[in-house]
């Protein structure tokens, strides 16, 4: 018996695969990757080992000679994020600083420097560029990077949900909003395909780590736990349970499928405006993920009866494009 292809049984992979195949028809040789020869250099050939010694830090430039701190933006257990002024080029930048209590901990210092070195190897329009790694008179550590004016995808989806609840169910603004969200998702896929070609796994993809700029920019953020493909993370598994693949919980290996699973969960959330997995606590979420117990892919808007509508909505801009990541 052939599997049913009714709208109610169409899944995300089928939608993406069919749109990618349609996009490829009649467009052979027109995409940049078809024209520009050569392959990306595997990032494993770059030395990512981090020197956590005080002597190494004292070799760095003093951040105070170039950047003036304007205000604190955010603070976590590991570091602080500041808005700063580049005194030489006159631009606003973001400074990420390792907290003082971690400076005496070699593993924390190593992790901070390793993140900087890895980020510096990734050169892509959807990855925020790193400007410099600096120190100060107290041998501190500071990363200077591009300032992104915008909001996270998490905040954007929250606003979309609120708007959906306020508007009539037949309002066509949903279709326009869905197209914008899917276009942003494709740019995230481009960035992840690129980092995979460099042998790097992000390991923490989620709406909170995707920034949407005011002028249509899309950035994949927070490469703090990214690692070379094949890294064994068992015993020190970081990330958000809702977006971690079941096999990662079991064997801890960082593979391309680690990020692809997270992309699928993000796509589900983008289309339906619902959380892909829910639970009373992290333990319940992990249990449900490992058991494959995901929320039904039922869109928040009653106008959207199935993913067939998402397929129809994406076709307008998917045709002629080969940017769908091959999941």
CA quadruple 296, 298, 299, 302: dihedral, nearest 10: -150
Catalytic residue among 134, 204, 222, 259: 204
Give the per-residue pLDDT at 321: 38
Asked if 277 and 242 count as a contact pair (C-beta separation under 8 A), the reply is yes
Token duo for residue 126: 């959807």
| In a shared domain, residues 91 and 216 | no
- Known catalytic residue at 47: no
Mean pLDDT by 10 residues, the chain (327 residues): 42 47 47 56 59 77 84 90 94 94 90 90 93 89 92 93 72 73 93 93 94 92 88 76 84 89 92 83 83 68 52 43 42
CATH number at residue 208: 1.10.510.10
Task: Give the per-residue pLDDT at 12.
Answer: 44
Say whether both 232 and 123 belong to one domain.
no
Spell out a b/e string for 48-67, using b for 16 or more CB atoms within 10 Å of the CB, else e. bebebeeeebeebeebeebb
Residue 5 in any domain: the answer is no
Whether residue 326 is contained in a domain is answered as: no
Q: pTM for the complete prediction? A: 0.76
**269 and 194 inside one domain:** yes
Report how far apart the first and last C-alpha atoms of the chain are (Å, whole number): 26
- The 3-state DSSP class for residue 324 equals coil
Residue 2 domain flag = no
Are 191 and 292 in a shared domain?
A: yes
The set of long-range contacts for 128-131, using a CB threshold of 8 Å and a minimum separation of 24, is 128/211, 128/219, 128/221, 131/93
| Co-location of 185 and 66 in the same domain | no
Identify whether 207 is part of a domain. Answer: yes
Q: Name the domain count of the chain.
A: 2
Decide if 1 is inside a domain. no
The parent domain of residue 139 ranges over: 47-146
Query: Which pair of structure tokens corresponds to residue 12?
Result: 């995300």
Q: Cα Rg for the chain, rounded, in angstroms?
A: 21
**Domain edge (last residue) among 146, 167, 187:** 146
In a shared domain, residues 32 and 52? no
Distance (Å, whole) CA 95 – CA 145: 6
Last residue within a domain, chosen from 124, 146, 168: 146
Tell me what pLDDT residue 235 has: 67
């Amino acid at each position: 018996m052939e599997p049913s292809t009714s709208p109610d049984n169409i899944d995300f992979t089928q939608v993406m695969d069919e749109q990618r195949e349609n996009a490829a028809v009649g467009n052979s040789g027109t995409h940049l990757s078809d024209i520009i020869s050569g392959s990306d250099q595997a990032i494993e050939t770059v030395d990512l080992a981090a020197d956590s010694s005080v002597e190494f830090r004292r070799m760095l430039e003093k951040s105070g000679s170039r950047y003036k701190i304007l205000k604190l933006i955010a603070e976590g257990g590991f570091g602080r994020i500041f808005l700063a002024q580049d005194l030489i080029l006159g631009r606003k930048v973001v400074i990420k600083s390792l907290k003082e209590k971690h400076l005496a901990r070699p593993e924390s210092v190593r992790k901070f420097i390793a993140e900087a070195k890895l980020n510096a190897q990734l050169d892509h329009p959807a990855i925020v560029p790193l400007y410099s790694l600096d120190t100060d008179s107290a041998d501190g550590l500071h990363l200077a990077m591009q300032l992104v004016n915008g909001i996270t995808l998490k905040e954007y989806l929250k606003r979309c949900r609120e708007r959906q609840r306020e508007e009539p169910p037949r309002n066509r603004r949903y279709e326009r909003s869905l197209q914008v969200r899917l276009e942003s998702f494709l740019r995230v896929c481009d960035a992840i395909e690129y980092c995979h070609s460099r042998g790097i796994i992000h390991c923490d993809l989620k709406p909170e780590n995707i920034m949407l700029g005011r002028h249509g920019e899309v950035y994949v953020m927070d490469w703090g736990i990214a690692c070379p493909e094949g890294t064994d993370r068992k015993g020190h598994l970081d990330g958000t349970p809702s977006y971690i693949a079941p096999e990662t919980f079991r064997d801890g290996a960082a593979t391309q499928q680690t990020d692809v699973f997270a992309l699928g969960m993000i796509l589900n959330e983008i289309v339906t405006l619902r959380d892909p997995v829910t639970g009373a606590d992290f333990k319940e979420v992990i249990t449900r993920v490992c058991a494959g117990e995901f929320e039904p892919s039922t869109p928040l808007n009653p106008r959207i009866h199935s993913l067939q509508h998402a397929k129809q909505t994406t076709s307008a801009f998917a045709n002629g494009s080969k940017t769908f990541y091959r999941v």
